[in-house]
């Protein structure tokens, strides 16, 4: 097995549902792992698809008044369309109604039918399945599902039905599967899921029925056409029918036999994947998968996502609101990979603004715009100082951190590594204060600071490319990565691909425009006019929202006009002992000199913005009516730095 050759799968999704964020989460995770694996030089084959047989699908088709195949064609296309919108780069999309799948299933069942278990019994044997059957549902129903002894959907008592079925001799394989899991030949992660499976096996699992007599929409058994293959048994086989089990043994061996097989799923379908599937493979003489990663199961605002509640979040609506890159990011950063959680969609805008608009987008704008103003190219760095080297080393560490996180399938850490670098670059840029260096004429330091900042952004953006495929390209182009180097590579190559001084840099619109609570763009980074960046308030807020705003007294110590912007003043204010730059749209109302020494009120904890290319950290309060404007001041005893509430 070559672990450099990764075969990644998602569950194949039932076509009687529409794609929702639960499906999207697994599919995005698989895409990110595949892209990251390739970035680090590995080979990857990423498979997803749709599960199209069984009574539920047949019923949905009948309810829609169409033939099952036509129904499946439409529904399966919905999944592919959603994945296209979410920038999922799958290598293969399998449908269980594909001929290659049907041929593969027949072949696999023939193998099983001919096989003997290690204790000398036929692996498949006929038997009778007896259970409770709801005629309304046309399916077997368990005691547990009954409400007051009746089917909850049809309010009828089920009938006891005995059906001839074929069984798979699981009992002859479950101990062997348990041992493979125990010793890590089949890795089941996270560890609590491994414990869960081992517990199930220890508890004892019965042979399972692998066919159905009554379900007509399915693949007939090759050895008894009066029966169809049970939908679950058939669905699992997609993982081998896609790479060529039916008729391309070479391709099949390349990926299945000699690749590292990673199945992704949520815990709802763990037993099928961790026990039934390896057991069937052992019986058919094929390799078992190497790794199952079982991520968490999500609720939405505390409730299970379901058709009847109508609360499923549509991932394509997220794409409309946030863009595909950000939608991918927002879903993945909700919880550590593997942990259950409750998704609260109203928190998406806050997270978007904090991480993408401010930390990443605004840093890129600030640095690139600075470079644009002093020549529009990657500056030639001078002598590196300790702070510069520290940031470059942080870049190298982020690459290592990302590689390690990928190996552990720790998606949150795969994002955390580059985002940590972004935050460090923000601190470096603020602390180096290039605007100050420029003012003081420290030209070499200025060039070095800008170069090192651009370089940190380049590395972070390359590492973010699996999650943010298109924005990563935009950012890397903006900081001067040459067109022939845009394909990101990780590891050792990173420093060899450092930015070339003299390469053109440039940024147009913000990479991630800021949005309001409803997801509407507000974009304070490049306001349409030279106004002071104030945004309209909408509706009422609660006290907690107000509490987030830190108002303080600030003393104006410098003021001058901003060249080319009639309404803007560039100020420097003192907040206690701290000095900070601030841009305000008050030039038509105040002469700069008249402001020196005034104590004004500012919003202290506003994220920095760049207005007309000038850095601003805070916002002045002013009262305004028509063309009149007066600053809110506190001339008197209250010193600068005092809080206002």
H/E segment holding residue 28: helix 21-39
Asked whether the beta carbons of 443 and 463 are under 8 A apart, the reply is: no
Instruction: Report in angstroms the alpha-carbon separations of 205 from 329, 384, 531.
Output: 40, 65, 70
Pick the closer one to ligand MSP by CB: 208 or 298: 298
Contact indicator for 72, 15 with CB cutoff of 8 Å: yes
Distance of CA 632 to the CA centre of its chain: 44
Task: Provide the token pair at 529.
Answer: 């006019």
E strands along 170-285, which residues?
187-189, 208-209, 211-212, 220-221, 224-229, 259-266
Q: Is the CB of 61 or the CB of 235 nearer to ligand MSP?
A: 235
Nearer to ligand MSP, 10 or 321 (CB): 10
Q: Which is nearer to ligand MSP, 54 or 434 (CB)?
A: 54
DSSP assignment letter at 147: B
Compute how many other C-beta atoms are within 10 angstroms of the C-beta atom of residue 2.
11
Tokens representing 62 are 């009948």
Cβ proximity to ligand MSP: between 151 and 343 the closer is 343
The minimum distance between CB 304 and ligand MSP, in angstroms, equals: 7
Burial level of 449, CB count in 10 A (0-12/13-18/19+)? Answer: buried
CB of 441 to ligand MSP, least distance (A): 57
User: How far is residue 220's CA from residue 229's CA, in Å, rounded to a whole number?
Assistant: 6
Least Å distance, CB 297 to ligand MSP, is 4
Smallest gap from residue 123 Cβ to ligand MSP (A):
20
Instruction: Please name the residue that has the structure tokens 């840099």.
Output: 505
Smallest distance from ligand MSP to CB 276, Å:
10
Query: Which of the residues are catalytic?
Result: 20, 23, 134, 137, 151, 154, 304, 307
Rounded to the nearest whole angstrom, what is the least distance from the CB of residue 209 to ligand MSP in the complex?
Answer: 17
By Cβ distance, which residue is nearest to ligand MSP?
22
SS3 category, 166: strand
The answer to whether residues 104 and 241 touch, using CB atoms and an 8 Å cutoff, is: yes
Q: How far is the CB of 233 from ligand MSP (least distance, A)?
A: 10
Where do contacts with ligand MSP occur on this chain (CB under 6 A)? 11-14, 17, 22-23, 25-26, 51, 235-236, 238, 265-266, 268-269, 297-298, 305
* Rounded least distance, CB 161 to ligand MSP, Å: 24
Give the C-alpha separation, 445 to 423, whole Å.
21
Residue positions counted in the chain: 645
Nearer to ligand MSP, 269 or 384 (CB): 269
Of the pair 298, 428, the CB lying nearest ligand MSP is at: 298
Query: Rounded to whole angstroms, how far apart are CA atoms 644 and 622?
Result: 14
Q: List alpha helices for 515-561, DSSP H.
A: 543-547
Nearer of residues 327 and 559 to ligand MSP, judged by Cβ: 327
| Pairwise CA distance, residues 153 & 134, whole Å | 10
CA distance 40 to 33: 11
């Amino acid at each position: 097995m070559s672990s450099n050759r990764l075969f990644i799968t998602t569950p194949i999704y039932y076509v009687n549902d529409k794609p929702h964020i639960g499906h999207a989460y697994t599919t995005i995770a698989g895409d990110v792992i595949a892209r990251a694996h390739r970035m680090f030089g590995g080979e990857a084959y990423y498979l997803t698809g749709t599960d199209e047989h069984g009574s539920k699908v047949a019923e949905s088709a009948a309810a829609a008044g169409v033939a099952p195949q036509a129904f499946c064609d439409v529904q399966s296309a919905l999944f592919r369309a959603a994945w296209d919108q979410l920038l999922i780069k799958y290598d293969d999309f399998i449908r269980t109604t594909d001929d290659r799948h049907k041929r593969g299933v027949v072949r696999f069942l023939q193998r099983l039918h001919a096989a003997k278990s290690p204790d000398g019994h036929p692996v498949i044997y006929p038997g009778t399945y007896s259970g409770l059957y709801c005629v309304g549902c046309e399916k077997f129903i368990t005691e547990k599902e009954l409400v007051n002894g009746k089917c909850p959907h049809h309010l009828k008592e089920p009938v006891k039905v005995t059906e001839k079925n074929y069984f798979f001799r699981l009992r002859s394989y479950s101990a062997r599967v348990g041992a493979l899991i125990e010793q890590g030949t089949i890795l089941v992660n996270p560890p609590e899921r491994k414990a869960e499976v081992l517990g199930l096996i220890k508890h004892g699992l019965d042979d399972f029925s692998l066919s159905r007599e009554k379900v007509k929409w399915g693949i007939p058994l090759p050895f008894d056409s009066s029966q169809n293959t049970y939908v679950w048994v058939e669905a699992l086989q997609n993982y081998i029918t896609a790479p060529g089990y039916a008729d391309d043994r070479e391709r099949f061996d390349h990926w299945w036999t000699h690749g590292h097989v990673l199945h992704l799923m949520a815990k709802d379908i763990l037993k099928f994947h961790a026990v039934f599937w390896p057991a069937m493979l052992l019986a058919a003489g094929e390799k078992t998968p190497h790794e199952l990663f079982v991520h968490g199961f999500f609720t939405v605002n505390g409730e299970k996502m379901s058709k009847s509640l109508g609360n499923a979040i549509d991932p394509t609506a997220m794409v409309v609101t946030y863009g595909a890159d950000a939608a991918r990011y927002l879903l993945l950063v909700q919880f550590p990979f593997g942990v259950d959680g409750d998704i609260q969609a109203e928190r998406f805008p806050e997270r978007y603004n904090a991480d993408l608009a401010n930390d990443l987008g605004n840093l890129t704008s600030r640095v690139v715009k600075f470079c644009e103003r002093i020549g529009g190219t990657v500056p030639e760095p001078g002598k590196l100082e300790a702070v510069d080297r520290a940031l470059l080393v942080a870049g190298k560490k982020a690459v290592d951190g990302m590689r390690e996180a990928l190996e552990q399938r720790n998606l949150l850490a795969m994002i955390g590594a580059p985002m940590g670098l972004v935050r460090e670059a923000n601190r470096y840029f603020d602390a180096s204060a290039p605007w100050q260096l420029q003012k003081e004429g420290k030209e070499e330091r200025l060039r070095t600071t800008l170069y090192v900042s651009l370089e940190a952004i380049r590395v972070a953006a390359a590492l973010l490319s699996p999650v943010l495929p298109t924005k990563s390209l935009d950012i890397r182009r903006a900081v001067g990565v040459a067109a022939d180097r845009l394909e990101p590579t990780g590891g050792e190559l990173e420093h060899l691909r450092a930015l070339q001084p003299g390469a053109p840099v440039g940024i147009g619109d913000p990479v991630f425009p800021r949005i309001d609570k409803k997801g509407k763009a507000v974009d304070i980074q490049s306001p349409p006019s030279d106004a002071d960046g104030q945004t309209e308030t909408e509706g009422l807020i609660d006290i907690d929202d107000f509490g987030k705003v830190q108002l303080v007294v600030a003393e104006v110590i410098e003021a001058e006009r901003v060249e080319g912007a009639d309404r803007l003043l560039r100020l420097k204010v003192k907040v206690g002992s701290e000095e900070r730059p601030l841009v305000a749209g008050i030039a038509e109302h105040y002469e700069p000199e008249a402001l020196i020494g005034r104590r004004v009120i500012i919003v202290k904890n506003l994220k920095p913005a760049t207005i007309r290319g000038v850095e601003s950290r805070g916002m002045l309060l002013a009262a305004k009516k028509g063309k009149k404007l007066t600053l809110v001041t506190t001339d008197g005893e209250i010193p600068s730095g005092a809080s206002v509430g």
